[in-house]
Chains A and B, each alone.
Chain A
Amino acid sequence: MLIFNWNLAMNRIKSHMILPVKTGEKIKFSFDGKPFYAYKGEIISSALFANGIKIFSHHHKDKSPQGIFCANGQCSQCAVIADGLAVKACVTEIKDGMRIETLKGLPEIPELKEEGKFGEVEEIETDVLIIGGGPSGLSAAAELGKLNVSTLIIDDKHKLGGKLILQTHKFFGSVEDCFAGTRGIDIADKLEERVRTYPAVKIWLNCECLGVFSDKKIGVLYNGKYFLIKPKTLIVAAGAREKSLPFIGNDLPGVYGAGAFQTLVNRDLIKPSQKLFILGAGNVGLIAAYHALQAGIEVVGIAEAMSEAGGYKVHLDKIKRLGVPVYTSHTVLASKGKKELESVVLTQVDKRFNPIGGSEKTFKADTLLVAVGLNSVNEFYKQAERAKMKVFICGDAQEIAEASAAMFSGKIAAHKVLKSLGIMREDVPKFWAEKLNVLKSKPGKIYPNKKNHEKNDVYPVIRCSQEIPCNPCVTVCPKKSIKLSGPSIIKNPEFDGECAGCLKCLLICPGLAITIVDKRKDKDNPLVYLPFEIERDKIKKGDRVNIADENGKTLGLAQVAHIKDFSAENTIVIGVKVPATMADIAASVKLYNAEAPRKTHGLKDEIKDSAIVCRCEKVTAGEIKKVLRAGVRDMNRLKAITRAGMGACGGKTCSSIIMAIVRSEGINPEEIKDFTQRPLFIEASFGSLCNYKTADKSSGNGGWSDF
């Protein structure tokens, strides 16, 4: 076995503060005839990205280059030819010696080398089926497992945890309900550990849900084998998918969702970009920026059409302090590049989000992340309701919120199931609903944090001025000196009392919003302790570093006096010596200075209409507008005329873009009759649907013929 040094591979992350860098067995594959190396067990798309390959196919309609888009097995944009068959690169494992080719146009279907055998489609009965093993599904499973209710939880990924396994940052919420202050990846492990202690809960990973049928059975592909599941009750905990926007060049390789980015970076330790731009300053966009910085990727900027960032202020401040510019009241006008993304054109927008002419600016970037919000994955729920099944929904599938709320809503869904199965008689306690509402609450008002540390010579400075549901600093303080300003956990924390300088509040704060000022040794040049989780060896003792205030304004240079590495928390605490006047306002080390954009000219309206709405069928914004202007209000008819929504993904991406166009055309969304959603929700081969198996494993058609 060859042990492969990943540091030698291009586009792989060489060191990471939070995540272990991958090592492993090296395998060979070819792409369009050229040899490359991959990591055994790796997914094709990541292996290609690791080797600098971003164009996977050319669309059969307009020959335009295509690359990764959802990285989640949903959209089929990433199709390549692997050993003769078209496969989704983002969910197919690479094999030693695999021949991978660019898919050009429509795939040809090869003859089978030998006859196969048909297998039975087994039917599985269970009390509860949970679709989705993320925070809400796992919480529901734990509640059911505790009471020994036969439960099957399925997830299409190789690991439980849903999107938690991509989250390297610490989570908000309360410590007792949802592991606040713990990193997402660690929460996933804790939830999984708990569920695995209950023998009544069966876990099927690598299991795709294809459809809910009218005879109350659910079709799933489990490791490529087709099963029909017949549950007494169903919990849909399928999470969310990302919204998209129509702008010119939105289908260029290099333009994709923040979720895809997090998958590449945080799951597969791929460095897909050198220069990154992000559209959308909600929590998803802000966190993606942070993850990029942790992966050593330069974040050129974040654009946000609203006049303020929609995400938590602490997330925003964290990014700004490190030196990433955030352009509010701006949106992306176009992404440009010959074959792949090369630059992003931004424009300022007015209050109605109309571009302001003359405000255009261009940034060089190789990747643009679209992080403009999430939509619930609720098609399974809708189908189950039509089939008159006993069905419950929780987490993002029900309503988009933080993972903390998802966990709690999973618990509530489980309780409802217990009641419907007759195992529990009581209704869901009323205060649970209230608690869920708190955890779901959107970022609230901003109140300046009070300062009560005049008498202290060591004390925390808390920069947590916006009402968000979070309290780990309160829980962790051994002196009980941090309290909330009111009874609810959305209230802001305040310091009042003694401080031991133990750094526990600084280390647990998910927003990195606490610094500790220590004047005990030197009143005039106190030590300020700053949290840092970007890169382990980036800053050393004795370095002179740029210091930023809460909002990212540079305060000046300061010398690093201490570096404390808290490896259990994966956080470095940097102690800097600063003048007394700077002590309370020094908030962070600043890493970057914003790059100045190039001024550019605007674009004509008719060009804007070339933005792609339906990626699968290459339907443009202009075509959609034309049909809407002709009076079409039934999405089914719009689909019949334009083919938008008829592609592999089934309208998962375009339906929200179409609604955005509906609103921009001044049409009341209530006039619109929605698409009829039908299975399959993920494409599956004829062979897999009847468990047709050929014996020849060496051929491309070997094994379960699920591709």
Chain B
Amino acid sequence: MAVGAIFNNMNSYDIIIIGAGSVGTPLAMFLAEKKKKVLIVDSESSAGQGQNKAAIGGIRATHSDISKIKISLESIKIFSNWKKKTGIDIGWMKNGYCFPVYNESDERMLKEMLKVQQSHGLNIKWIDKKEVVKLAPGINEKNLRGGTFSPDDGSASPLLALNAFYEYALKSGAEFNFNENVVSILKDKSIVKGVLTDKGKYFAPIVVNAAGAYAGEISKTVDIDIPVRPDCHEAGITEPVQTGIKPMIVDIMPGLKSKNYYFYSNSENQIIFCLTPSPTIWGGDRDSTSRFLPEISKRMIQLIPKLSNIKVRRVWRGLYPMTPDGFPIVDFPKQLKGYVLAAGMCGQGFMLGPGLGLTLSNIITGNAAAASRKRIKGFELNRKFEGQEKLK
């Protein structure tokens, strides 16, 4: 009896988080900071080895939806204050986002969205051609009409940031079990009990599914279907060079084999870039395809010809856990008490992660819970998934 009690105690937690990625790790950090006993289980051998390390590091609040805007504003606060708070550099730069525009319809679309974004208090404006050239020296000026610029957005190193969050979580008392696969979520009727892994059983009244690309599969073990399935996006990084390019440049014009692509010069002066393939490539393959480099190279040179002489260093592919409407699913589903969904980030887990982590930790610990719940209203599971995120 006594032995059993100790055993039980050892495997009992306040909260279990599945996935030590972009969302799970900062959530663990905030919960542990609030003195909760937290366990994070991850199948990889260290934090951020899923899709986090595939992110290129852009962080913006200039979305078209209020929930995303609010969460991202929280995130930006956390990223930008991190060095002041802990002394640790995570490569944060307030370099802004710039969408250069070359045709009338894009100009109209962006200008309309600008009104919405400005109405939410976001610092974003239309800039003329000359200002775009100043932000992106060498940009093709033919037919360039200007663009949007949001100076308060920025970027950070996903590798350094996640490692910093992980170490902070660890220091605050969170436990991480790596190289461990979650087999199923345990429940008793409609109440969550814990998780079963390939190494053992762990108990907690709250289980957070932050399993990114694999969240859908895991949710099936408790018969809650969440419409999350991964597609892939390809990314790469160059040698470090001086280009004079300041903000994240997003080219929304469609290409031959791709939708949009975006890039910026990171804190190491390396151009880091990412492309959305078209047609969409569904599935979990994370190795680069041969069509990526010729496509993005051509597009980047068309936009900024001098990039032609910059050498590409490495490429990779990451998964976007997609939902039908392009918005995350963050919810406390009523059919299973204690089950928390923090999934379907649609490729924005890195920028949403810290804000979401803080918001969820507030709800879970009952700290300003109502306001926090309101903030994630747009991410409910029981929505129609009919709309479409305009700027994915």
Q: Which residue of B lies closest to A693 (CB)?
A: B308
Take A213-B287, A217-B290, A219-B290 as given contacts and tell me if A685 and B315 are in contact as well, using a CB distance cutoff of 8 Å: no
Question: Which residues from A are CB-within-8-Å of B288?
Answer: 211, 213-214, 678-679
Query: Are A387 and B297 in contact, with the CB atoms below 8 A?
Result: no
* Residues of A379-429 whose CB lies within 8 A of B: 383, 386-387
Question: Which residues from A are CB-within-8-Å of B45?
Answer: 633-634, 636-637, 673
**Complex-state Cα separation, A112 to B238, whole angstroms:** 18
Query: Are A111 and B287 in contact, with the CB atoms below 8 A?
Result: no
* 0/1 string, B160-194, CB within 8 A of A gives 1: 10110000000000000010000000000000000
A645 to chain B, nearest CB (A): 10
* Residues of A89-133 whose CB lies within 8 A of B: 106-112, 115-116, 118, 121
A683 proximal to B (CB < 8 A): yes
**Complex-state Cα separation, A683 to B293, whole angstroms:** 12
Q: Which residue of B lies closest to A672 (CB)?
A: B45
B289 proximal to A (CB < 8 A): yes
Query: Are B310 and A678 in contact, with the CB atoms below 8 A?
Result: no
Q: A111-B306, A632-B46, A692-B301 are in contact. List 8 more A-B contacts (CB 8 A).
A: A112-B308, A121-B294, A211-B315, A214-B287, A387-B287, A685-B311, A692-B297, A707-B311
B159 proximal to A (CB < 8 A): yes
Interface residues of B (CB under 8 A from A): 44-49, 53, 138, 159-160, 162-163, 178, 238-243, 269, 285, 287-291, 293-298, 300-301, 305-317
A92 to chain B, nearest CB (A): 13
Query: Are B306 and A637 in contact, with the CB atoms below 8 A?
Result: no
Query: Are B306 and A689 in contact, with the CB atoms below 8 A?
Result: no
* 0/1 string, A633-656, CB within 8 A of B gives 1: 110110111000000101000000
**B312: which of A214, A218, A680, A701 is its contact (CB, 8 Å)?**
A680
B275 to chain A, nearest CB (A): 13
Query: Are B297 and A690 in contact, with the CB atoms below 8 A?
Result: yes
A686 proximal to B (CB < 8 A): yes
Query: Are B308 and A692 in contact, with the CB atoms below 8 A?
Result: yes
Smallest CB-CB A-B distances: 10 pairs: A687-B308, A640-B159, A214-B287, A683-B311, A213-B290, A217-B290, A634-B46, A690-B297, A637-B46, A686-B297
Question: Which residues from A are CB-within-8-Å of B314?
Answer: 650, 678-680
Query: Are B46 and A692 in contact, with the CB atoms below 8 A?
Result: no
Q: Which residue of A lies closest to B298 (CB)?
A: A690
**A640: which of B48, B240, B295, B298 is its contact (CB, 8 Å)?**
B48
**Complex-state Cα separation, A107 to B311, whole angstroms:** 11
Query: Are B301 and A60 in contact, with the CB atoms below 8 A?
Result: no
Q: Which residue of B lies closest to A691 (CB)?
A: B294
**Complex-state Cα separation, A689 to B310, whole angstroms:** 11
Question: Which residues from A are CB-within-8-Å of B291?
Answer: 215
* Residues of A208-263 whose CB lies within 8 A of B: 211, 213-215, 217-219, 226, 228
A11 proximal to B (CB < 8 A): no
A85 proximal to B (CB < 8 A): yes
**Complex-state Cα separation, A108 to B241, whole angstroms:** 6
A636 to chain B, nearest CB (A): 6
Question: Which residues from B are CB-within-8-Å of A112?
Answer: 305-306, 308-309
Question: Which residues from A are CB-within-8-Å of B307?
Answer: 109, 686
Q: Which residue of A lies closest to B138 (CB)?
A: A111
A684 proximal to B (CB < 8 A): yes
A168 proximal to B (CB < 8 A): no
**Complex-state Cα separation, A111 to B306, whole angstroms:** 5
**Complex-state Cα separation, A639 to B285, whole angstroms:** 22
A294 proximal to B (CB < 8 A): no
Query: Are A214 and B285 in contact, with the CB atoms below 8 A?
Result: yes
Question: Which residues from A are CB-within-8-Å of B49?
Answer: 634, 636-637
Query: Are A636 and B46 in contact, with the CB atoms below 8 A?
Result: yes
* Residues of A352-404 whose CB lies within 8 A of B: 383, 386-387
Which of A108, A633, A637 lies at the interface centre, i.e. has the most chain B CB atoms within 10 A of its CB? A637
For this complex, into which size category does the number of interface residues on chain A fall? Answer: 35 or more
* Residues of A679-707 whose CB lies within 8 A of B: 679-680, 683-687, 689-692, 701, 705, 707
**Complex-state Cα separation, A228 to B291, whole angstroms:** 9
Query: Are B241 and A683 in contact, with the CB atoms below 8 A?
Result: no
B324 to chain A, nearest CB (A): 26
**B239: which of A218, A219, A648, A673 is its contact (CB, 8 Å)?**
A648
Question: Which residues from B are CB-within-8-Å of A106?
Answer: 240-242, 269
Could you jot down 22 A-B contacts, CB within 8 Å?
A: A85-B309, A86-B239, A107-B242, A108-B242, A109-B309, A111-B138, A112-B306, A118-B301, A211-B288, A211-B315, A226-B294, A634-B45, A637-B45, A637-B163, A640-B159, A686-B238, A687-B301, A690-B293, A690-B297, A692-B297, A692-B298, A701-B309
Query: Are B241 and A684 in contact, with the CB atoms below 8 A?
Result: no
B25 to chain A, nearest CB (A): 12
**Complex-state Cα separation, A118 to B302, whole angstroms:** 10
**Complex-state Cα separation, A108 to B305, whole angstroms:** 14
**Complex-state Cα separation, A650 to B306, whole angstroms:** 25
B240 to chain A, nearest CB (A): 5
B292 to chain A, nearest CB (A): 8
Question: Which residues from B are CB-within-8-Å of A686?
Answer: 238, 296-297, 300-301, 307-312
**A689: which of B44, B294, B305 is its contact (CB, 8 Å)?**
B294
Which of A107, A639, A687, A689 lies at the interface centre, i.e. has the most chain B CB atoms within 10 A of its CB? A689
**A214: which of B47, B138, B239, B289 is its contact (CB, 8 Å)?**
B289
**Complex-state Cα separation, A685 to B138, whole angstroms:** 17
B197 to chain A, nearest CB (A): 19
Question: Which residues from B are CB-within-8-Å of A680?
Answer: 312-315
Question: Which residues from A are CB-within-8-Å of B289?
Answer: 213-215
Query: Are B290 and A684 in contact, with the CB atoms below 8 A?
Result: no
Q: Which residue of A lies closest to B316 (CB)?
A: A678
Question: Which residues from A are CB-within-8-Å of B306?
Answer: 109-112
Q: Which residue of A lies closest to B295 (CB)?
A: A690
B303 to chain A, nearest CB (A): 11
Take A383-B287, A636-B46, A637-B47 as given contacts and tell me if A701 and B308 are in contact as well, using a CB distance cutoff of 8 Å: yes
Query: Are A109 and B297 in contact, with the CB atoms below 8 A?
Result: no
**Complex-state Cα separation, A118 to B294, whole angstroms:** 10
Query: Are A689 and B241 in contact, with the CB atoms below 8 A?
Result: no
**Complex-state Cα separation, A684 to B239, whole angstroms:** 10
**B298: which of A108, A118, A679, A685 is its contact (CB, 8 Å)?**
A118
**Complex-state Cα separation, A673 to B238, whole angstroms:** 25
Query: Are A107 and B301 in contact, with the CB atoms below 8 A?
Result: no
**Complex-state Cα separation, A115 to B302, whole angstroms:** 10
Query: Are A228 and B290 in contact, with the CB atoms below 8 A?
Result: yes
Q: Which residue of B lies closest to A701 (CB)?
A: B309
B352 to chain A, nearest CB (A): 20
Question: Which residues from A are CB-within-8-Å of B238?
Answer: 686
**Complex-state Cα separation, A76 to B47, whole angstroms:** 31
Question: Which residues from B are CB-within-8-Å of A111?
Answer: 138, 305-306
Question: Which residues from A are CB-within-8-Å of B296?
Answer: 686
Q: Which residue of A lies closest to B245 (CB)?
A: A109
**B297: which of A213, A640, A673, A687 is its contact (CB, 8 Å)?**
A687
B62 to chain A, nearest CB (A): 27
B64 to chain A, nearest CB (A): 31
Question: Which residues from B are CB-within-8-Å of A110?
Answer: 306, 309
A25 to chain B, nearest CB (A): 29
A589 to chain B, nearest CB (A): 50
B110 to chain A, nearest CB (A): 26
**Complex-state Cα separation, A147 to B65, whole angstroms:** 65
Query: Are A707 and B53 in contact, with the CB atoms below 8 A?
Result: no
**A707: which of B178, B287, B309 is its contact (CB, 8 Å)?**
B309
**Complex-state Cα separation, A632 to B178, whole angstroms:** 12
Question: Which residues from B are CB-within-8-Å of A76?
Answer: 239
* 0/1 string, A69-100, CB within 8 A of B gives 1: 00000001000000001100000000000000
Question: Which residues from B are CB-within-8-Å of A107?
Answer: 241-242
**Complex-state Cα separation, A633 to B47, whole angstroms:** 12
Which of B138, B243, B290 lies at the interface centre, i.e. has the most chain A CB atoms within 10 A of its CB? B290
Question: Which residues from B are CB-within-8-Å of A687?
Answer: 297, 301, 308-309
Query: Are B313 and A683 in contact, with the CB atoms below 8 A?
Result: yes
**Complex-state Cα separation, A86 to B317, whole angstroms:** 28
Question: Which residues from B are CB-within-8-Å of A211?
Answer: 288, 315
